[in-house]
Amino acid sequence: MPFLHERLPNGLDVIAETSDAAVSTSIGFFVATGSRDESDDVSGVSHFLEHMVFKGTPGITGDEINHRFDAMGASANAFTSEEDTVYYASVLPEQQHEAVDLLGAMMRPALRGTDFDTEKLVILEEIRMYDDQPPFGADDRCRASYFGRHPLARSVLGSVESITDLPVEAMRDYHRRRYAPGTMVLAASGAVDFPALVESAKRLCGDWEPAAPAERRRPQPPRQAAHPGTERIVKATAALDYAVWMVAAPDEFHDDRHAARLLAILLGDSSGSRLYWGLVDSGEAEQAACLYQDFLDAGLFITQLSCDAADVETLRERIASIYAAAAAGGLEPAEFERARNKLASRVVLGGEKPRRRLFDIGLDWSHARTYRSVSDHLRLVEGVMLDDVHRVLQAWPLDAPAAAVIAGPDGEG
Amino acid sequence: MKQSLHSTTLGNGITIVGERLPELESVAVAFHAPVGAIHDPSGKCGLATVTGEMCLRGAGSRDSRQLVEDLESAGVQLAQGVSSTHISVSGAMVARQLAEVLPIYADILRRPLLPADELPAARQMVLQNLAGIEDEPAHRTLAALRRLQSPAPWGMPTEGISAEVESIEIDDVREFVAQNLQPAGMIVSVAGRIEWDDFVRRVEALLGDWQAAPAPPVAKGPRGAATLHVTHDAQQTHVAVGWPAPPYRDDTSHEATAALAVLGGGPSSRFFTEIRERRALCYTVSAGYQTSRDFAHAVCYSGTSADRAQETLDVMLAEIARLPGTITRDEVDRVKARAKSGLIMQQESSAARANAFARQWYHLATLRTLAQELERYDRLDVAAIEAWLAANPPRDLTVVSLGREPLEVRHALPA
């Protein structure tokens, strides 16, 4: 799978991983901005802006955008996280030109006041939707407790208050500052005509004004929970308790990140893991999982537990003892092999999907200006040894004081 | 495009369907046994689901743990599911692992151990899942719609009913397996980097001597009431609307699904435009199609703040009523473009292809090539869709709401 790269004079990087086997083309703009780049007075603006990008440019209405994507048979959407805003479309190769044209134009949205007021109501509905479903805001609250005053504490959606109070001028200003060519990547994967992609980029994006890139990795994030302890969210109607807790893990650039990923699979994958056999297989927990999430300068081991409210404390203790046993007694070579095979198989199967590759190469380039092929990923996974995972267990203890939140039917802990 | 589609039926009624996709490294395989929630005995709703779970808790010479660990050692992404008509076990993997894991799948289907000491855990797992569903308002709303508008027992919740799951004993599971888990009508679907003849030989060696004893057909009972409100104290109210549509195997199912796609199938659909973009009433709104072999339904859904739910339902009903006679060529062109590009992109996923073949065989007893599928969409036009809508306007609507207050069904639609 050849990798191609060209930088426009204004700093916009254009990259592609091409595949002869692919029958589709995936195209995306990766903007290095998310909730961590916001301030209190604009909390939620990155995600709200992502919606507004679909509401049109000075020359294209929101309806036209929807019609044009559907007319080209595109599967198009966007997402916003703590660190990234990504706009993408998967199309048949003959639609590459049209898809890049539309996505490129959208990156310079009109941000009309009337659209802004209407879309605000949709964002508020989205906030209420997540508020009404598991884990009832426990994940956001827990991240806030873990990160304390660090910007990674911010909610991607924002709150009803912050969205209600947000003025359109603040969004326009945020867009001017954050959607500069030097902090954006145009990426493509699958059946890509790269010369045509670069031509499109020059025509559409060549006149974007460069802006001085802002340093994102400050201040130093905490290496432990800023506010350890357990908070409660009362949801009187909830059938189960939903607990989430977070401790420190390696960041995205740490050599041990693959070992951390393997450790999370071994301990807390949705099947075949120690938590699975210890809590889920018996039907005591609806879910018990350990996830590894990495950021530019921080990482988290996130434990999620859902179960009957009467059992939540017992099962939290059982998970703590599973973690303690792993740290004290180490891991079995056979379970380590299984976890590594599982992860390697996921890398290969995921590598067959151009959409998935788009996200991998786009985020790698946006964060680190590096490219890793599927084979590179496979080598990294297969290069992890049991000792590496043992080192992670010692250096990033899962039984460290955690930030924890339980959402459930009553206030008793 | 040259395609290598295959199907063959063994003497005991197992049909193997598949496609060789040599560009892929992976292979996906699925076994669909023709037994599901419609076979749950009265008072034991959830037995098929408990049985599906029990089949993974030891089979052949492996106990529960060994079975899962051997599949995972081979890097198999294992899935097990129960629908109203099937218990399915499937897996996606790197192609070279297939030969090694096929005997494990055969054991799951033919030689489940069904150990009595695993039943409490399996039952408890199903009960946990049911408790989790209680916290998923959209899922509950759509399940309630399905239950009302489908004939019994097709509408029964495949996940079970808690009080009835609690009464399931090991003899229920063993009897259910003995009576219903058998090869006649089973579909084995495969897609990816395979050698077809070799695959058939292996499946035949593993399953070919399994004796068929087909279960008697299940009789259709009555459907439920036309409206239902479920009281649920939350910020949002959830609304689902459905009505009968032709099943997938019917010649007009393409016209029906195209009409539904115009209504609510993408960002340029009428629901999305009128309900979300124009009025900002919701974040989620959609219209889609759910088919069984002999009947099908249109299914529309939205979730919105309690004080805006009535308006959301009003606009949904108005858009449904407005559909016949108003479809434009642009709308049909967009629906066709989306459907065709979706079909072509399916080639990139072995799992999606394996699913598509199993679905085609179950509903049509034949496989359509990609070219044939695309040709069916090419033939679609405004006249064909309008002719179908004129003969089959949305009627016999079922309306479900879940939220603080009941909603009024205000719009007059043909009964």
Measure in Å the smallest separation between the Cα of A196 and chain B Cα atoms: 21
Indicate whether A196 and A234 sit together in one domain.
Answer: no
Q: The tokens 């294992």 sit on which residue?
A: B78
Indicate whether A266 and A378 sit together in one domain.
Answer: yes
Indicate whether A195 and A283 sit together in one domain.
Answer: no
Q: Which domain holds residue A351?
A: 229-408
* Average confidence (pLDDT) over B259-283: 97
Say if A308 falls within a structural domain. yes
Catalogue all structural domains in chain B, each as residue range(s) with its CATH number.
5-207 (3.30.830.10), 227-403 (3.30.830.10)
Q: Is the pLDDT of residue A219 over 80?
A: no
* Total Cβ atoms within 10 A of residue A300: 27
Indicate whether A251 and A201 sit together in one domain.
Answer: no
* Average confidence (pLDDT) over B356-378: 94
- Distance between CA atoms of B415 and B309, rounded to whole angstroms? 23
Say if A215 falls within a structural domain. no
Measure in Å the smallest separation between the Cα of B217 and chain A Cα atoms: 33
Q: What is the pLDDT of residues B26-35, one digit of tens each?
A: 999 999 999 9
* Strands B227-231 and B398-403, bridge-based pairing: parallel
Q: Is the pLDDT of residue B1 over 80?
A: no
Q: Please, which pLDDT band fits residue A21 given cuts at 50, 70 and 90? A: confident
Average pLDDT, chain B: 95
Question: Quick one: closest CA in B to A237, which residue?
Answer: B233
Indicate whether A131 and A17 sit together in one domain.
Answer: yes
Indicate whether A198 and A242 sit together in one domain.
Answer: no
Say if A69 falls within a structural domain. yes
Indicate whether A241 and A182 sit together in one domain.
Answer: no
Q: What is the pLDDT of residues A320-365, one digit of tens each?
A: 999 999 999 999 999 999 999 999 999 999 999 999 999 999 999 9
In this complex, is the C-beta atom of A287 within 8 Å of any C-beta atom belonging to chain B? Answer: yes
Q: What is the pLDDT of residues A138-159, one digit of tens each?
A: 999 999 999 999 999 999 999 9
Query: Mutate which of A91, A136, A337, A352 to disrupt the B interface (most B C-beta within 10 Å)?
Result: A352
- Distance between CA atoms of A54 and B53, rounded to whole angstroms? 44
Say if A213 falls within a structural domain. no
HEC per residue, chain A:
CCEEEEECCCCCEEEEEECCCCCCEEEEEEECCCHHHCCHHHCCHHHHHHHHHCCEECCEEHHHHHHHHHHCCCEEEEEECCCCEEEEEEECHHHHHHHHHHHHHHCCCCCCHHHHHHHHHHHHHHHHHHHCCCCCCHHHHHHHHHHCCCHHHCCCCCCHHHHHHCCHHHHHHHHHHHCCHHHEEEEEEECCCHHHHHHHHHHHHCCCCCCCCCCCCCCCCCCCCCCCEEEEEECCCCCCEEEEEEEECCCCCCCCHHHHHHHHHHHHCCCCCHHHHHHHCCCCEEEEEEEEEECCCCEEEEEEEEECHHHHHHHHHHHHHHHHHHHHHCCCHHHHHHHHHHHHHHHHHHHCCHHHHHHHHHHHHHHHCCCCCHHHHHHHHHCCCHHHHHHHHHHCCCCCCCEEEEEECCCCC
- Distance between CA atoms of A148 and A171, rounded to whole angstroms? 25
Q: Is the pLDDT of residue B414 over 90?
A: no
Indicate whether A310 and A357 sit together in one domain.
Answer: yes
Say if A307 falls within a structural domain. yes
Nearest Cβ partner for A122 among B23, B120, B283: B283
Say if A146 falls within a structural domain. yes
Choosing from A139, A171, A205, the residue where a domain stops is A205
Query: Mutate which of A19, A65, A67, A70 to disrupt the B interface (most B C-beta within 10 Å)?
Result: A70
**Residue A413: what pLDDT?**
44
Indicate whether A195 and A236 sit together in one domain.
Answer: no
CB B409 within 8 A of CB B319: no
The reply to whether omega before A135 is within 30° of 0 (cis) is yes
Say if A211 falls within a structural domain. no
End-to-end, the C-alpha distance of chain B in Å comes to 46
Q: What is the pLDDT of residues B205-248, one digit of tens each?
A: 999 999 988 888 999 999 999 999 999 999 999 999 999 999 99
Measure in Å the smallest separation between the Cα of A398 and chain B Cα atoms: 24
Given an 8 Å threshold on Cβ–Cβ distance, is B348 in contact with A286? no
Indicate whether A198 and A288 sit together in one domain.
Answer: no
The CATH number of whichever domain residue A160 belongs to comes to 3.30.830.10
For B377, the token pair is: 């969409």
Q: Please, which pLDDT band fits residue A222 given cuts at 50, 70 and 90? A: confident
Choosing from A152, A172, A205, the residue where a domain stops is A205
CB B320 within 8 A of CB B409: no
Q: Please, which pLDDT band fits residue B2 given cuts at 50, 70 and 90? A: low
Indicate whether A297 and A385 sit together in one domain.
Answer: yes
Choosing from A153, A173, A205, the residue where a domain stops is A205
Q: Is the pLDDT of residue A118 over 60?
A: yes
What is the ipTM for the molecules in this complex? 0.95
Measure in Å the smallest separation between the Cα of B385 and chain A Cα atoms: 18
* Average confidence (pLDDT) over B345-365: 94
Domain count, chain A: 2
Q: Please, which pLDDT band fits residue A221 given cuts at 50, 70 and 90? A: confident
Given an 8 Å threshold on Cβ–Cβ distance, is A122 in contact with B280? yes
Given an 8 Å threshold on Cβ–Cβ distance, is A75 in contact with B304? no
- Distance between CA atoms of B147 and B140, rounded to whole angstroms? 10
- Distance between CA atoms of B216 and B112, rounded to whole angstroms? 22
Say if A214 falls within a structural domain. no
Q: Which of residues 135-174 of A touch B (CB under 8 A)?
A: none
* Average confidence (pLDDT) over B257-261: 97
* Average confidence (pLDDT) over B256-263: 98
Nearest Cβ partner for A345 among B93, B122, B280: B93
pTM, full prediction: 0.96
Nearest Cβ partner for B347 among A23, A132, A287: A23
Residues of B in contact with A272 (CB under 8 A): 68-69, 72
Indicate whether A343 and A278 sit together in one domain.
Answer: yes
Q: Is the pLDDT of residue B303 over 90?
A: yes
**Residue B112: what pLDDT?**
98
**Residue B3: what pLDDT?**
75
Nearest Cβ partner for A23 among B127, B345, B350: B345
Average pLDDT, chain A: 96
Q: Is the pLDDT of residue A15 over 70?
A: yes
Residues of B in contact with A121 (CB under 8 A): 280-281
